[in-house]
A and B are shown apart, each in its own frame.
Chain A
Amino acid sequence: MEKVITMEKNEVPFEEYLAPGHRACTGCGEMLAVRLIAKTLGDDVIIANATGCVEIVSSPLPTTSWRVPWIHTLFENTSAVASGIEAGMKAMTRKGRYSRKTKVVAMGGDGATADIGIQSLSGALERMHEFIYICFDNEAYMNTGVQRSSATPFGASTTTSPAGKQSIGQMTWKKNLPAIVAAHDIPYVATACPSYPLDMINKVEKAMKVKGPAYIHVLSVCPTGWHSQSNATINLGRLAALTGIFPLYEIEQGRYKLNVDPAQLSPIEEYTKLQGRFRHLPPEVLASIQERVTDEYVKLKKKAAEV
């Protein structure tokens, strides 16, 4: 029996597959998510990692933070690499040269997933490879110094969507990647956040049991890029869910289910006021963001109400 840490009624696997000593920023929400997910995935896993923060902070030659088989190749191709791993393993299994039931997991940031890697992701999902794709969404290109991506939220100031006299920062709404992924009719899609660790662990466990591709979109608070306090990481993730800015839900066989559904959404200012990237926003812009967030949440609830 694997060693576990008991938390109330829940058990969290004890083993760490991401070694300490990684070079992530102080208070990094992304490495926390990676750590908890790696614990859940266990040792029978092969990870394909896109270029980005996770890759850089965990693999400085001649050392590695990884205690499970891990491969990094490029930025935009991780889903294709995972496709190859899965296909190779299947062929070798069929030919009697591989006997494990190893889970193949692809990981990438929001840039690697929603922007440069969306083609290879779509291809791998469409081909129905058996793998889990996990997007660690910190809402900009943090590895290169906080440039905007299509996952950057409306109004956020980044180095390439800076706030200025003629600009309120990012002027487009965050790309709804889970919906795009779900449109591939894969069996399991979920959003998660390490601020809700047991929910996230539960989702990873579900994804591991699925036949076919599974996708988990993890909001990863980034103190460096969001200009927030390093100790506010968990709180910010919590507020993202409670304000409805980043709702936590699952799409199983096309059916939506909300996992955190507050009776009343908290006002978005509770979330935005803790982050320097939103500091410049005037009340009317905040109001328009509030309107959109509320509206999207209503639509999501409606989807979740459908049987």
Chain B
Amino acid sequence: MKDTTIEIRWHGRGGQGAVTSAELIAMAAIAEGEYAQAFPSFGPERRGAPVLAFNRIDNANPIRARSSVINPDIVAVLDPGLLYITDVVSGLKQNGTLIVNSPKSLVDIKSEFGGPWKLAVVNATAIARELLGVNIVNTTMLGAVVKATGIIKMESLVEPIEERFGARAKRNIDACAKAYKEAEIAEPVAVRARQKREFQVEKWPAWQELLPGCVVIEAGSASQYRTGDWKSQHPESDYSKCIKCGLCYIYCPEGCIVPKLGEEGFFEADMYYCKGCGICAQECPKDVITMVEES
């Protein structure tokens, strides 16, 4: 039997709605009479953490595979920051499609992430902010995905979005349509752009390496985990206004605001861990700290 299945991998952050994107695509495809599935990858990571969601769509045969998508035909990236912390094109098929949400121009993105795949760029965050008032790009990104791949018809999304969003459906459909209009597309190039960052390959222990009961003897070893990758905004401080009260240090849920090196009494956030919650900026009595969008 000829393989007719199209596979999509969604990269998002917990709370951004990547799972919803996948679900809406599947619902639309099923409404068109195709076979489709949508499913999340379950992990312990929470709001803000990188998460994955998957689709399979097939216009000929029922879908039997239930395992994660390893070699996607389409990769959609909902958060610009994820491009720099995850190897989003991992396993992407030759002549597949990469769709990214980024404020950068197509030319810039192509210079960083171009390769033997079709590339689509849309500033979904700006569209969502404008039309929805929030930085949730799940419906907006659908417009760009449909434009770049034609995997479903735009009008097929209307009903699923109405069902899911009720009174807010109209605005979401508008955002989706705007992204369809604004998404810019570049054709595949033969050579992959050089990567700026080596992505860490997770290493998992063999069974013989586990201690009895899987006891962990290295205290605090989870501190190797870079939760700083979760943030979509980061704090910046104007120390001239700082009264060294220490409230930012106290109120940080990550415990990542630490005494500033060499400057007695000042504090600064460790970007390796800062998730960008904004509590320090909110609670600072002297407005020392402002939150700045990640670029």
Contacts and interface: CB of A to CB of B under 8 A. Distances in A.
Interface stretch (B21-29, B159-167, B275-283): B275-283
B176 to A, nearest CB: 23
B237 interface: no
Interface string A179-208: 000000000000000100100000000000
B251 to A, nearest CB: 5
Contact of A5 (B204, B246, B252, B282): B246
Nearest to A5: B246
Nearest to A24: B46
Interface string A199-228: 000000000000000000000000110000
A7 B222 contact: no
Contacts of A25: 14-15, 46-48
Contact of B221 (A23, A31, A32, A63): A63
B110 interface: no
Nearest to B278: A231
Contacts of B219: 19, 64, 66-68
Main secondary structure of the interface of B (DSSP, over half): loop
A21 B222 contact: yes
A95 B252 CA distance: 43
A215 B30 CA distance: 53
B292 interface: no
A26 B45 CA distance: 10
Contacts of A229: 278
B255 A18 contact: yes
Contacts of B87: none
Interface stretch (B57-65, B140-148, B185-193, B223-231): B223-231
Interface stretch (A52-60, A155-163, A297-305): A52-60
A37 interface: no
B279 A27 contact: yes
A16 B255 CA distance: 7
Contacts of B249: 5
A27 B221 contact: no
B201 interface: no
B82 to A, nearest CB: 15
A221 to B, nearest CB: 10
Interface in A104-128: none
A21 B220 CA distance: 9
Contact of A29 (B231, B253, B254, B275): B253
Interface stretch (A167-175, A232-240, A247-255, A283-291): A232-240
Contacts of B212: none
Contacts of B291: 231
A63 B227 contact: no
B279 A233 contact: yes
B77 interface: no
Contacts of A59: 216, 222
Contacts of B216: 59, 61-64
Interface in B38-52: 44-49
B253 A35 contact: yes
Contacts of B246: 5-7, 12
Contacts of B283: 234-235
Contacts of B220: 19, 64-67
Given A32-B251, A234-B282, A27 B277 contact: yes
A239 to B, nearest CB: 13
B250 interface: yes
A36 interface: yes
A113 B270 CA distance: 34
A22 interface: yes
Given A20-B273, A63-B225, A27 B278 contact: yes
B254 A22 contact: yes
B70 interface: no
A46 interface: no
A63 B249 CA distance: 25
A234 B251 contact: yes
Among B224, B252, B279, B283, the one with the most A-chain Cβ atoms within 10 Å of its Cβ is: B279
A230 interface: yes
A32 B250 CA distance: 9
Interface in B246-295: 246-247, 249-256, 259, 270, 272-273, 275-279, 281-283, 291
Contact of A20 (B44, B227, B245): B227
A270 B283 CA distance: 17
B34 to A, nearest CB: 29
A32 B253 contact: yes
A23 to B, nearest CB: 5
B218 interface: yes
6 contacts: A21-B223, A26-B48, A29-B253, A57-B44, A65-B223, A66-B219
Given A61-B214, A64-B219, A224-B15, 11 more contacts: A7-B245, A12-B246, A23-B44, A26-B46, A26-B48, A32-B252, A59-B222, A63-B218, A67-B219, A197-B251, A234-B279
Q: What 7 A-B pairs come out closest when comparing CB atoms?
A: A231-B278, A19-B220, A27-B277, A25-B47, A25-B46, A26-B48, A21-B225
Interface of A: 5-8, 12, 16, 18-29, 31-32, 35-36, 56-68, 194, 197, 223-224, 229-235
